[in-house]
Amino acid sequence: MGAAELASRFRVAGVAFADTEHGLVRVQVSRGGSAGELFLQGAQVTAWQPAGQRPVIFTSARAVFAPGKAIRGGVPVILPWFGPHPTAPTAPQHGVARTAPWRLERVEEAMADGIGLTLALDGAGSDWWPEAAVARLRVVFGSELRLDLAVENRAAQAIEFEEALHAYFAISDIASVSVTGLEGCRFIDKTAGGARRPPTGGRLTLASETDSVYLDTPATVAIEDPAWRRRILVEKEGAASTIVWNPWADKAAAMADLGPDQWQGMICVEAGNVADNKISLAAGATHRMSTRISVAGG
Ligand code: TA6
């Protein structure tokens, strides 16, 4: 469904649809001084800026917006596997959902100051996710950013999957921020071949490439950004894992859609259920994971 058809079907003040030159459909939301943006491809949020704040979600200035291409930044929906496919080396990294065409099902006035968008994706039929599963993502743009991901198992047997809301956050400088809330959590260090690490006991600061999958993590994690006098809070429900990632200079320079000059201004803090925390979902059941992103200070 193109922008014109969507605009005639979903008439809500502050919601604009556009067909981009690259062949994607973009939705822009503005309400109460907050602004947000998402693409139907991947149901991918690419911008969120609450009233009175700098942008909170980071999207690369070099991101490629093209059908079937993962967009560098925003909040990619990672499903039904995280990282490389466990058995199929030619399968896409981070699953099929983030480059698939989701359909917009609902646009609603949500919360006191927000607009909610509900998008859906049928897993069945894709090469890599044959199970009859349906994913729904509800995104609420307002003074907070809320994402609720529900996976319904319509198969006759249990299914297993990993999932993550792979959020990129805009920060002052990777060398001056820290992450709190993960002090007591063990983690998998993907920069060290997946080595299992014990809890560090202290706040997380980054001084080199960081790619850590924290397991059995608490509900709230915070990005402390004193230079911008703000804290970004990432509250979670139904998400046992938290992934923290920054590619650092060498890896970033090798990424055409990131480049050598932006990596210091971003950090990924991702709510998910991956590795030891992956989901096994009974036939007919639905699993829900949600994250609520807000900004304090600033
Ligand atoms: O979440 C961290 C991570 O798994 C890293 O290993 C890195 O690959 C990152 O995701 C980005 O992956 P992408 O496929 O979007 O380039």
Predicted pLDDT at 112: 75
CA of 228 to the centre of ligand 1 (A): 26
Give mean pLDDT, residues 227-241.
98
Active-site amino acid positions: 166, 270
Predicted pLDDT at 283: 95
Could you give all domains of the chain from N- to C-terminal order, each with its CATH number?
3-297 (2.70.98.10)
Predicted pLDDT at 109: 87
Predicted pLDDT at 202: 92
pLDDT digits (tens, 9 = 90+) for 15-48: 999 999 899 999 999 998 999 999 999 999 999 9
Residue 298 pLDDT > 70: no
**Residue 208 carries which side chain, given as an amino acid letter?**
S
Give mean pLDDT, residues 108-130.
84
Atom of ligand 1 nearest to the CA of 270: 1
pLDDT digits (tens, 9 = 90+) for 95-113: 999 999 999 999 998 777 7
Give mean pLDDT, residues 130-154.
94
83 touches ligand 1 (CB under 6 Å) = yes
243 touches ligand 1 (CB under 6 Å) = yes
211 touches ligand 1 (CB under 6 Å) = yes
Bridge partners of 232, per DSSP, are: 223, 295
**Percentage of the chain modeled with pLDDT above 70:** 99
The average confidence (pLDDT) of the chain is: 95
164 touches ligand 1 (CB under 6 Å) = no
Give mean pLDDT, residues 231-251.
98
pLDDT digits (tens, 9 = 90+) for 155-193: 999 999 999 999 999 999 999 999 999 999 999 999 999
Give mean pLDDT, residues 258-285.
97
146 touches ligand 1 (CB under 6 Å) = no
Give mean pLDDT, residues 249-275.
97
Of 94, 165, 242, the one to substitute when testing ligand 1's pocket (max ligand atoms within 8 A of C-beta) is 94
Atom of ligand 1 nearest to the CA of 93: 14
271 touches ligand 1 (CB under 6 Å) = no
Atom of ligand 1 nearest to the CA of 98: 15
